[in-house]
Amino acid sequence: MPINRRDFLKTAGAGLGGLALVDSPLGQLEIQAKQQEANDQASMLYDATKCVGCRACQVACKSRSSLPPVTDPERIWEKPLDLSADTWTLIKLYEGEEGTSFVKANCMHCVDPACASVCPVAALEKTDAGPVVYHAERCIGCRYCMAACPFGIPKAQWYSNAPKIQKCDFCADRLAGGERPACADACPTGAINFGSRQEMLDVAHSRVTDTERYVNTVYGEHEAGGTDVLYIAGVNPLLLGLPELDDRSLPSIDWPYMKAVPWVVGIVGAFLTATYFYTHRNEGKEAQDGH
Amino acid sequence: MAIKLGDIRLRRYKVGPGMIFIWIVGALGLSVAAWRWIAGLGATTNLSDHRGWGIWISFDMMAGIGLAAGAFTIAAVVYIFNLKKFYPLVRPTLLTGFISYILAALTLLADLGFPLRIWHLVIYNNIHSPLFEIGWCVMLYSAVLALEFSPVVFEALHWKVPLKIIHGIQVPLIIAGITLSTLHQSTLGTMLTIMPYRIHPLWYSPLMPVFYYISAIAAGLGMVVFESYNSARTYGYRFELKLLSSLTKIVPWVLGLYLVLKLGELVVSGDYVYLLKGDLASVLFIIEIMGGVVIPMLMFADPKTRNTSNGIIWAAFYAMGGLIMNRINSALTFFDGALYLPAWSEIAVSVGLTCLGIIMFDAAVRFLPMFPEPTAEAGKK
């Protein structure tokens, strides 16, 4: 995805502001290195053209994580309308001029996740294996993760007075035990593929060349610096509730500022000290004169 | 068993009906906060998955801390730039700052999902998180403010030794306070830079840390004017118009710099196109810039306006309003998410905490030597 003009100018604007804080080429290299590393991470490829909307994945997810059902008033249908603290994955349907497609909503497990980078107590963690996991015992409930996530994934248990943040954890425990994620395991049609990120990208790219069936794009390859959950579909992924994002990893935007903290301390401290001594240079004399 | 309390004595200012009203509203607000702690955030606020932050973050935290910037600005002016004539403004300003930070901490306790874990910031860390830095800065700066303010209490108690100690470390303390303020005032802006897709382009900018810092200095000085005026009116002290007028000469430069950077950034980034849309965002942006930046800039720049009580107070109001509007616009109104109006309980807690701040200030004025009384020592200065 090319960087559009506005974003280019935004970056240029930061430079013009006199701050040498814009992403250095070194920072870009760091991100590339991160993406390289990511290619060994666990990854899921959702192929919307193979999904029949049976919601077996939803049920498997709920039973694996013991999540309560979200029901209608008669308590007959399990029918969540959106992701929530109790629904970590959800099959939605797009029907429009461009065609019809199911789409599976869940955490994207970004290569460089904003949620983990903003969490003040490191309650959210990007593991080396790929999953972004949550350490509930650390969480202070500030909800910065919810604000920072470009996909709107982390949800809070609003009904509770100890509101944990909840989201798909990529079945990190199952993965550690050599198993597949519960949703991928349950999928009867092969719509949810599981493997290393490199494998999934290879599968995705080989499939989307069939432009009769697919729109030739792999969502998640570059978006927000890349995600471990990838999408291919018969309609434009942006119609499926996936946001339009550029290639920047979000933490790469504010890291230059955070990295500058020791410099700010040093420069401001030195400036103030120097100013103090300059403005008080005659103090001693006056005192002596007075005595 | 009389404990000698030195000069800590009740100064008998009249308690007007306004103050009684503030006590009542403060008590009600704190009761609502207690209810929120018992019943939970979901049951008592209008916050939701698509609107995780409400007025407690945008107004109480972001605007509240911004308005408290007067404390470090005045400290810099008096102690670092050695402009001693502004000393009479130091004590009430430090107190206002200190109270603002107490209120920010209380707001955080209302807003956090796990308020009892606020101390986790001490044992867990993530140096990448702007909020981690803000948390630490606010903790340290509150301690610095308490120490900076403590001579007032020690003086009243006639405690010579602690007074001497504080006096000995005063300069490093002041420098630490200004540095910490520079960090967290700007980092409040950094907090939002990670959300380019969530915040309206008219407010979003990679320069937000700079904008937040500069606007806090201007509005913080406005707050100094407002607080001086209010103290003068409420407690019958002399309104330090001359001093304030001289102090606020700098505000047009600060606001001017803000204006140039802000508009320059819009032009360079190409985001000025959003101004031409004529939608709510463009209208509120223009109101914010005109009313909160241009008007106070012109008012503070005009000696005739600045030298009258009415003029300087209104200029201060505009500057403060500009900051409040900016924080609410960037972190709430034009922060992408579900439609949100604060629940009555959220407003009650906000208003109640503000009242608590006024009550604390009032108590300090009643019990402590806050304003220079005509003593021999003051005469020397």
B11 domain residue, yes or no: no
The answer on B96 and B25 residing in a single domain is no
Compare B122 and A31 and report the one with higher pLDDT: B122
Confidence of residue A2 (pLDDT cuts 50, 70, 90): very low
pLDDT in tens, B330-362: 999 999 999 999 999 999 999 999 999 999 999
For residues B119-144, give the mean pLDDT. 95
Mean pLDDT of chain B: 92
CA A197 to mean position of chain CA atoms: 16
| pLDDT value at A30 more than 80 | no
| % of residues, chain A, pLDDT over 90 | 77
| pLDDT value at A180 more than 80 | yes
The whole-number pLDDT of residue A24 equals 52
The whole-number pLDDT of residue B237 equals 80
Return the CATH number at B216: 1.20.1630.10
Where are the alpha helices (H) located in A50-187, listed in sequence order?
Answer: 56-65, 114-118, 144-148, 172-176, 182-186
Confidence of residue B3 (pLDDT cuts 50, 70, 90): very low
The whole-number pLDDT of residue A78 equals 75
B377 domain residue, yes or no: no
The answer on B328 and B190 residing in a single domain is yes
Q: How many domains does chain B have?
A: 2
Distance from A37 to chain B by nearest Cα, in Å?
20
Residue of B124, B137, B183, B204 to mutate when probing chain A, most A C-beta within 10 A? B124
B31 domain residue, yes or no: yes
The whole-number pLDDT of residue A155 equals 97
pLDDT in tens, A197-209: 999 999 999 999 9
For residues B130-150, give the mean pLDDT. 95
Compare A79 and B45 and report the one with higher pLDDT: B45
Phi-psi region of A67 (alpha: psi -120 to 50; beta: other; left: phi over 0): beta
The answer on B35 and B182 residing in a single domain is no
Closest by alpha carbon to A187, among A14, A57, A10, A19?
A57
pLDDT in tens, B172-219: 999 999 999 999 999 999 999 999 999 999 999 999 999 999 999 999
CATH number at A5-259 = 3.30.70.20
pLDDT in tens, B222-264: 999 999 999 888 888 888 999 999 999 999 999 999 999 999 9
The whole-number pLDDT of residue B378 equals 42
The answer on B354 and B323 residing in a single domain is no
B20 domain residue, yes or no: yes
Per the CB < 8 A criterion, the answer to whether B67 and B227 are in contact is no
Which residues constitute the domain of residue B351? Answer: 16-45+345-367
B378 domain residue, yes or no: no
Distance between CA atoms of residues A265 and B24, nearest Å: 43
| pLDDT value at A94 more than 50 | yes
What number is the ipTM of this complex? 0.91
Distance from A212 to chain B by nearest Cα, in Å?
32
For residues A231-256, give the mean pLDDT. 95
The answer on B54 and B27 residing in a single domain is no
Whether residue B46 lies within 8 A of chain A, CB to CB, comes out as no
DSSP B329-361: IIIIITB-SS-----HHHHHHHHHHHHHHHHHH
Check residue A231 and report its DSSP letter.
Answer: E
The whole-number pLDDT of residue B5 equals 65
For residues B273-292, give the mean pLDDT. 95
Are A10 and B38 a contacting pair at CB < 8 A? no
Give the number of beta-carbon pairs within 8 Å between A and B. Answer: 203
CB count in 10 Å sphere of residue A234:
15
B373 domain residue, yes or no: no
Are A144 and B129 a contacting pair at CB < 8 A? yes
| pLDDT value at B316 more than 80 | yes
Whether residue B48 lies within 8 A of chain A, CB to CB, comes out as yes
pLDDT in tens, A137-157: 999 999 999 999 999 999 999
Residues of A whose CB is below 8 A from B171? 276
The whole-number pLDDT of residue A100 equals 94
**Cross-chain CB nearest to A254 (options B113, B115, B190):** B190
The answer on B204 and B97 residing in a single domain is yes
The whole-number pLDDT of residue A285 equals 66
Percent of chain A that is helix, strand, coil (3-state, to 5): 40, 15, 45
The whole-number pLDDT of residue B379 equals 39
Residue extents of the structural domains in chain A:
5-259, 261-290
Confidence of residue B16 (pLDDT cuts 50, 70, 90): confident
| pLDDT value at B376 more than 50 | no
Closest by alpha carbon to A89, among A114, A57, A64?
A57
Are A257 and B183 a contacting pair at CB < 8 A? no
Are B207 and A5 a contacting pair at CB < 8 A? no
**Cross-chain CB nearest to A264 (options B80, B182, B271):** B182
The answer on B360 and B250 residing in a single domain is no
Are B130 and A243 a contacting pair at CB < 8 A? no
């983990």: which residue's tokens?
A116
- Residues belonging to chain A: 291
Per the CB < 8 A criterion, the answer to whether A110 and A22 are in contact is no
Confidence of residue A26 (pLDDT cuts 50, 70, 90): low
pLDDT in tens, B73-127: 999 999 999 999 999 999 999 999 999 999 999 999 999 999 999 999 999 999 9
| pLDDT value at A18 more than 80 | no
Distance from A175 to chain B by nearest Cα, in Å?
26
Confidence of residue A288 (pLDDT cuts 50, 70, 90): low
Closest by alpha carbon to B64, among B254, B220, B251, B213?
B220
